[in-house]
Structure 1
Amino acid sequence: MRTPEEQYRAQQQPQPQPTAGRATTEAQRQVSEVFRQQRAATQERRSKVLSAGTLRRRGRTVILEGDWKLATDKLPAGDLSGMEFKGGKVGDLTLKDLHALASNHGPKCRCGIDR
């Protein structure tokens, strides 16, 4: 016959520990890797800006002013002041890249360019 302590221990069932499944872990790893690759590509593009000036908007047109000098694969290093463009890219740089690097703008300026 069992003792009361043995009967108590027999009634207790070990609770399974919550663990993430392999699929969840793999999905998180893939998302993390994609984010890391995108961030590295963005930093590489932005590192090609030798000096950043200002930018302003006239309607949907963005005008680069001041001392913008880029060293990209598609454009030689040179002065881009006064250049106008509508959407698209300047060399390898996107409008968001230029907005983040401009001396009169940034990620929290609320001007609407980065949208």
Structure 2
Amino acid sequence: MAQRKVIWTKTADIQFIGILEYWVNRNKSNTYSKKLISLVSQKTKLIAESPYIYKLTDYKDIRVASLENFSLYYSVTEKHIIIYAFWDNRQDPRKLLKILESKG
């Protein structure tokens, strides 16, 4: 089977960029943000190759893959992986529910 293309929703993209910027400002260095970019790249590649290895959530057809303090919420189509949220697990989960209910 061909590898699926990974598509980030606008919401997930904004979340990811916001988290990267937060860590650059907090640490006065981009070292952790670079590490996080690498981890996310590795995780999205793995998801694209084997999209069903992570568990389903309570939301229809949405799966979750965790990495450190963060989670990627995504769904699988025949040709794509759609990432709906890049979530910092220390945030208020009610915000995440709104995102998943609207699917990005």
TM-score range, shorter chain: 0.3 to 0.5
TM-score by length of 2: 0.32
TM-score by length of 1: 0.30
Structure label with greater radius of gyration: 1
Could you say which structure has the higher helix fraction? Answer: 2
Could you say which structure has the higher strand fraction? Answer: 2
Which one has more relative contact order, counting CA pairs under 8 Å at least 6 apart? 2
